[in-house]
Structure 1
C-alpha cells in the first residue's frame, strides 16, 4: 500500500523532529535578511557653522551602488555636488543566502509530508533515504557557503554605510573645512541575527544528516557486517 497515511508519531523521533526545527530556522533565516530596510543619517558640518543632513537609505538585496546618496545636482555647504551613489553591492551574497533558506524551507515541508504520510513507503525503499541523505548533505554545504558569503557581504554593507565609507564616497567630505559623520545608524540587529541563523541552520542540517544516514542501507550494511560484541572465537581444531 502506497497511499497517504497520516501518522504524527514520527514527530517524536529525531528524524522528523529535527526536520521541523529546520523548517522553523529557515523561516527565521530568510525573514531576518530578506525584509530588512534601514536608514543612516549623515550630518555635514560646514565651514561657516551650518549643519546639513543626508539620508542613506538601503535595503535588501543591498545593491548600494544603485542607491542615490545625493539626488541630482545639489548645493551643500555652498559647494556644488553632482548626483552621487553609495558604493558596494552585496546583492549576490544576500540573494544566495535567502535563496538557500527558501529552498530548505520548501524541502523541509516536503520531507515532513513524506515522514508523516508516507513513512511506510520511505522505509520500504532504498531510494527515499539515500536521496534524502544526499540532498541533506548538499544543503549542509550550501549553508556553510552562503552563511560565510553573507557574513562577508554584511560586513561590506556596514563598511560602506559607516562614517569612513561615506567620507570616501562623498568628495565634499574630503575637504579640510567640512566634516562629515554618520550621526544616526540603522539597527542591523536583524541582519546579525540572520548570519547567526545561517550557521545554526548548517549545524541543525548536519545533525539531521546523521539521522537520515541511519535510515540508509549504507548504515545497516555497516552495522550488520560488524562482528557481535562479546562473542568469543572458537579455536580451530589442531
Structure 2
C-alpha cells in the first residue's frame, strides 16, 4: 500500500525540484577609477548544470572594456541520471498502481506478476541509491563552483585590491537540498517495499506452506523423547510395585481358562483346552482303592 500511495508522490517531488531549478548570482564591481564604477555582473545557471557553458561579462577597470568569463565544472551526468531515475520510477509506480487496483487477478496469475515486480523493485532501489549519492556529491560541488568568493576570483577586476566587489544576490539552495532529501526518501521507500513484494512471490508462499525440515525434525525428536521418558517412568513404577505370588498367578490363569471356555461355547466351536496352572497331584488313597482288595502277607 505504501508503494501505491507514496512512491509516485515522492518520485515527482524528487525530479521536479531538481529538474526545474534556476539559480541567480549577482555581483557589484566598483573600480578605483570612478568613471567605471557601479558595474553589475549577473550570473544565471540551472539544470542540467553544465557550468562550463555558463559565462558572464566582467568589466576591466584598467581599460575601457569587458572580459568574458566561464564557470568551471560539468555536473550534468549526475543531475540527468537522478532526474531520469525519478521519471522512470514515477511511471513504473503509476503503472503498478493501476495493475494493483484493476488487474489484481492477472497480476497474481501464474505468479509472474509478483516475480517481475520483485526484480524491478530491487533494480529501482539500487538505482535510487546510486543516483541519490551521486547527486548529493555533485550538489556540494555545484555549491562550491558557484560560491561568490570563487566567482569573484575569476574576474581580474575583483582580484585587484584597489577595486571593490560585493555580492548583492546569492542563489538559493533550498530547492536542490530538498531534491537530495527526496532522493534518499525514495531509497528508503523502495528498499522497504522489497519485503512486501517478496511476500507475494511463490518463494515466500512455498516456504510458508512447507516449513523447513530441520524444524519439523526437531519437533518430532522432542515428541519421541517425551514419549520415551513417560514410558520409562511407567515401567519403573510397575517394577517397584507388589509382585503376584504363584497361587495368584494360577488363580488368574484358571479364571482366564474359564472365561475362554465360556466364550468359546457361545460362538459354537471349541478350541483345545490348555491348562496354564500346576500339574494335578494324584491322590494316593483314591489310587490304592481303585486297584482292588489289599492282601497282607506276614513273613516269618
Aligned residues: 219
TM, length-normalised to structure 1 = 0.83
Which residue number corresponds to residue 281 of structure 2?
A: none
Any idea what SS the aligned residue of 1:126 has? helix
* Residues in 1 aligned to 2:165 and 2:81: alpha-carbon distance in whole angstroms: 34
Q: Does 1:55 align with 2:36?
A: no
Which residue number corresponds to residue 270 of structure 2?
A: none
| Residue deviations 1:42-93 (CA, integer Å, cap 9, x gap) | 12232246332100101111111111122xxx64334444321111111111
Which residue number corresponds to residue 54 of structure 2?
A: 67
Which residue number corresponds to residue 143 of structure 1?
A: 128
Q: Does 1:76 align with 2:65?
A: no
TM, length-normalised to structure 2 = 0.67
Max radius of gyration: which structure? Answer: 2
Structure 2 residue runs of 5 or longer lacking an equivalent are 229-300
CA contact (8 A) 2:53 2:70 kept: yes
* Residues in 1 aligned to 2:115 and 2:153: alpha-carbon distance in whole angstroms: 53
Q: Does 1:195 align with 2:180?
A: yes
TM alignment of 1:84-99, pairs within 5 A? 84-99=69-84
* Residues in 1 aligned to 2:105 and 2:73: alpha-carbon distance in whole angstroms: 52
* Residues in 2 aligned to 1:180 and 1:154: alpha-carbon distance in whole angstroms: 26
* Residues in 2 aligned to 1:51 and 1:133: alpha-carbon distance in whole angstroms: 62
Which residue number corresponds to residue 172 of structure 1?
A: 157
Which residue number corresponds to residue 225 of structure 1?
A: 211
Structure 1 residue runs of 5 or longer lacking an equivalent are 1-13
The Cα shift of 1:210 comes to: 1.1
The structure with the largest helix share of the pair is 2
* Residues in 1 aligned to 2:122 and 2:173: alpha-carbon distance in whole angstroms: 31
Structure with bigger RCO (C-alpha 8 Å, 6+ apart): 1
* Residues in 2 aligned to 1:174 and 1:23: alpha-carbon distance in whole angstroms: 49
Any idea what SS the aligned residue of 1:57 has? strand
* Residues in 2 aligned to 1:35 and 1:231: alpha-carbon distance in whole angstroms: 62
Any idea what SS the aligned residue of 1:42 has? strand
| Deviation beyond 4 Å, 4+ runs, structure 1 | none
CA contact (8 A) 1:25 1:197 kept: yes
* Residues in 1 aligned to 2:107 and 2:219: alpha-carbon distance in whole angstroms: 34
